[in-house]
Structure 1
């Protein structure tokens, strides 16, 4: 995850923004506990990871307690969340993200969810658009040092 955060955002964010993004990005182990996190390996090497959630947290790792909301979502009226998507830079643009999204969509659909939402980084937004997500709203998160990190809340209707 650290390599993905540090290397895949350089075309979109300043070094200060990349450092600030680490305040909220990372793994939420609730995804693992819920059994909704996928890991894609190439032999013994981690190629990518990501998951979905039936909980209200939109984004943020374990260390971002102010972003956490463990409330269970209602599939009849609320969207499942796509969470903690990371690809090792060596495997970028090789279909790993698409594969993980497809696994997440199928699992969420099987649990009755009709929509998905996520918080996209600038680096991730092109993948999500290519996979049928649309921007709902632009968002910024201010770091503890006052550095603004751009993002986008995106959504998709499951078919």
Structure 2
């Protein structure tokens, strides 16, 4: 029943302020069971929205009762993760015949977790990437996001730590084949 309350649409630049608030809440609250306060603070150095996703028309928002509940997107570009301020971003286009599309910048507001928001965004992203000819899709998961991605069929292929914000933050590179 609750699934019917979810509404999705493509994000626009007019959503930026609300998206930043949602992301801040998600980073602050959803990671608490998994990371130390220092790691949460550190993660802000490389988390956040890559506005290229909005420009590319590959970033979704999900609303419940007219309230922004979550956001996330996919990309046909080389950058695996990171926001606008993250160094080392690569806007090169991927080749669907040999490269995996990317799931990017997935966030659910703490007030809306466990309501199907993340699954809806994943399904939208996977369908769009499949429609553009991608055979595989991958992402860089946080510890708080890993359970969702496992349930959605992703498998861990690499565990890394990102210390660009000061404290090392554990991340998991995950991949999934996109079956027709």
| Fold shared, TM-score > 0.5 on shorter chain | yes
1:150 has 2:150 as partner: no
Residue in 2 that maps onto 1:80 = 101
Partners in 2 of 1:7 and 1:87 — Cα distance?
A: 10
Partners in 2 of 1:39 and 1:79 — Cα distance?
A: 23
Residue in 2 that maps onto 1:33 = 55
Q: Secondary structure at the match of 2:174?
A: strand
Structure 1, unmatched stretches of 5+, are: none
Runs of 4+ deviating beyond 2 Å: none
Structure 2, unmatched stretches of 5+, are: 1-22
1:2 has 2:53 as partner: no
Residue in 2 that maps onto 1:57 = 79
The equivalent position to 1:91 in structure 2, one of 107, 112, 115, is 112
Q: Normalized against structure 1, the TM-score is what?
A: 0.97
Partners in 1 of 2:136 and 2:124 — Cα distance?
A: 14
Partners in 2 of 1:99 and 1:32 — Cα distance?
A: 18
Deviation of 1:42 (Å): 1.9
Residue in 2 that maps onto 1:132 = 153
Residue in 2 that maps onto 1:100 = 121
Considering only aligned residues, what root-mean-square deviation do their CA atoms show, in Å?
0.7
Partners in 2 of 1:33 and 1:10 — Cα distance?
A: 31
Residue in 1 that maps onto 2:19 = none
